[in-house]
Structure 1
């Protein structure tokens, strides 16, 4: 890859990480509140699920910024996004797809998954820890 492609991949990683990292940090700092909100939604084992989700939302973007384990990082963040979509919309997600004027947030999250799929296939580029090894 040339320098402009490496630069574009780095800034793409930076922007995707900026979507997840602040929210993950806030959930980490208020972990018990996040776990209790999951319990209020009726999730089984809310503390375990909260721990997995906070780890994915906080550690995933850090690995994304550094460029470590690109495929695993992309898969973890795709899984996190899918889980958060399911918890937000549940069974009504299909109805949201059929009514596009009412589902902007759903399509934004699907676009994030699309960007992570690009990262999964293209890799982190030259400006990453993976390429420096």
Structure 2
């Protein structure tokens, strides 16, 4: 049984943390690896280089949308393929533990679970554009 008084704040915490993680990963690709370097890395995996730019944009827009609360439940579901792609191409073959060389997929699995939980639990308070209409109290 959930506590109806605090569950919405759990959604808010999930939204903010998950959004910040996506912004941090986009920032890593922009400022540390650089977009061109990220495109080169994608190419080394056999992926088209342009997909790196799409991924960076997806992480930036998705992270901001989660933090601001713009259709958060839908955005959470839409961000899962980015993480599944990272598991399939890089982290899955490295094993489960994130401390393995090239990092495992445990962190990404937890991240996916958090996004799925947010999609199930709801938008939380302070959402600028909630996914569903708020009910009158």
- TM-score between the two structures when normalised by the length of structure 2: 0.76
> How many residue pairs get matched?
127
- Distance in 2, matches of 1:125 and 1:71, equals 10
**Residue in 2 that maps onto 1:72:** 74
1:130 partnered with 2:129: yes
- Moved runs in structure 1, 4+ residues, more than 4 A? 101-104
- Distance in 2, matches of 1:61 and 1:3, equals 26
1:38 partnered with 2:37: no
Q: CA deviation at 1:105?
A: 3.5
RMSD over aligned CA atoms reads 2.9
Q: Say if 2:91 and 2:104, in contact at 8 Å, map to a contact too.
A: no
Structure 1 unaligned residues grouped into runs of 5+: none
**Residue in 2 that maps onto 1:23:** 25
Superposition pairs for residues 75-114 of structure 1, below 5 Å? 75-89=77-91, 92=93, 96=95, 105-114=104-113
- TM-score between the two structures when normalised by the length of structure 1: 0.78
- Distance in 1, matches of 2:16 and 2:72, equals 13
Structure 2 unaligned residues grouped into runs of 5+: none
Q: Say if 2:68 and 2:127, in contact at 8 Å, map to a contact too.
A: yes
Q: Say if 1:63 and 1:73, in contact at 8 Å, map to a contact too.
A: yes
Q: Say if 1:7 and 1:127, in contact at 8 Å, map to a contact too.
A: no
| Bigger Cα displacement from structure 2, 12-21 vs 112-121 | 12-21
- Distance in 2, matches of 1:102 and 1:26, equals 20
Q: CA deviation at 1:89?
A: 3.7
Give the direction of change, closer, same or farther, for the CA distance of 1:33–1:14 in structure 2 (3 Å limit): same
Q: CA deviation at 1:87?
A: 1.5
- Distance in 1, matches of 2:64 and 2:70, equals 9
